[in-house]
Structures are given as C-alpha cells and as structure tokens.
C-alpha cells in the first residue's frame, strides 16, 4: 500500500504558482527508504521523485543493484516491488536544496520520524548530509552507515544524486550506493538488521 501525503499545498515564496506535495512511495516491509532533501520543482510539478534534467538517482540505483532495469521517474511507485521506497525530509519544493532554512528541517523532523516509525523500513538512507545533520543536530556527519537509529531504522548517509551536486562522479555515486546494497545483499539481511 502506498502512502500519499494529504492535500497540503506549498506556496512558492517568490510568487510562483503553488505546488502540490510530492507523494511518498512507501509501505511496510521495505528494505530501504531513500530520503531526499526536498522535492525539486519539476518533481513536485509532475508528482514523481527525482524528475529533472541531470538527476542521476534512477541510473545510480540501477547500477548499484537495487533495480534489475533502469527505471524512469514516472514509474517511481514500481520501486516498491524492489523493497525500496521514497520520501523527502522537507516537503516544500525548491529549485535548490540550499534554499531551505534550518527551521524547515527541524519543523519537518517529527513528521518524518512518525512516518518511519509507522512503516519501519530496515534502513533509512538520507541522500546528502544536510537533512540528517540538521535533524540530528550533528554538524559533522560521515558518509555511510551511522551508529544512530531513526524511528527504529538503521541510518545511512549517501551522496545526493542531484545534477547540481557535481562533487561526486557517477562512479562515486554508484560505489557509495553499492555499499548500502551489498550490506544487505542477501534477502535475509534486509530483515535481520
């Protein structure tokens, strides 16, 4: 069962048209929920995660082993069949994640926590350090598996696949995401964590 956010609408602070929220792709029994920082404007407009020119998420997910074929954003709900889900730390769409304030991360933390506690994925993978650092209050976060849990789920920090994040090559992204995939490569391991 896919959880879809309610009818809340986010207004554009620079005078554009309001954006509907980006629906979560989440259910119980998932191995991993990938948590983006917030929706890009194109993703919010289409209602599909990681939509946008240059976003490497779907390609990285496939190359790292999470999906047997390259998926397209318009088929994001099919990711549930691969025991993976999608959500965002903050619901407000922006052109760049840097447009979010620390207050927005803190304000959205309890809703994210409730969502993860409800669905109990084995792992919650934050895409980029910014959201987890703000939510956890830890200014210095390392890549990879964290010692802390979030809502009963193991936390991983992976590089953000946004086309705006050119600090990581495609190979670097695939290597980081593969580490998560290989940590849970056997089906039993997805449940045992």
> What is d(CA 53, CA 162) in angstroms, rounded to the nearest whole number?
9
| 180 Cβ neighbours under 8 A, 6+ residues apart | 32, 64, 123, 125, 145, 156, 158
Domains of the chain: 32-192 (3.40.470.10)
**Residue-level pLDDT, tens digit, the chain, 193 residues:** 344 333 343 334 434 444 457 999 999 999 999 999 888 888 888 999 999 878 999 999 999 999 999 999 999 999 999 999 999 988 777 777 667 777 777 788 889 999 999 999 999 999 999 899 989 988 899 999 999 999 999 999 999 998 777 789 999 999 999 999 998 765 554 444 4
> What is d(CA 73, CA 4) in angstroms, rounded to the nearest whole number?
16
Residues linked to residue 115 through DSSP beta bridges, in sequence order: none
pTM: 0.84
């Amino acid at each position: 069962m896919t959880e879809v956010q309610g009818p809340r609408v986010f207004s554009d602070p620079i005078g554009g048209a309001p954006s509907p929220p980006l629906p979560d792709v989440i259910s119980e029994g998932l191995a991993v929920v990938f948590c983006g920082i917030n929706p890009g404007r194109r993703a919010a407009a289409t209602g599909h995660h990681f939509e946008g020119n240059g976003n490497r998420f779907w390609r990285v997910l496939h190359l790292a082993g999470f999906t047997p074929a390259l998926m397209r954003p318009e088929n994001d709900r099919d990711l549930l069949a691969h025991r993976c889900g999608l959500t965002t730390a903050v619901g407000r769409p922006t052109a760049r994640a840097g447009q979010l304030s620390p207050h927005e991360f803190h304000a959205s933390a309890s809703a994210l926590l409730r969502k993860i506690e409800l669905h109990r994925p084995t792992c919650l993978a934050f895409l980029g350090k910014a959201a987890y650092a703000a939510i956890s209050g830890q200014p210095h976060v390392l890549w990879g598996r964290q010692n802390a849990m979030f809502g009963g789920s193991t936390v991983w920090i992976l590089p953000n696949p946004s086309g705006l994040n050119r600090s990581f090559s495609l190979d670097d992204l695939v290597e980081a995401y593969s580490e998560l995939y290989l940590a849970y490569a056997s089906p039993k391991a997805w449940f045992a964590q």
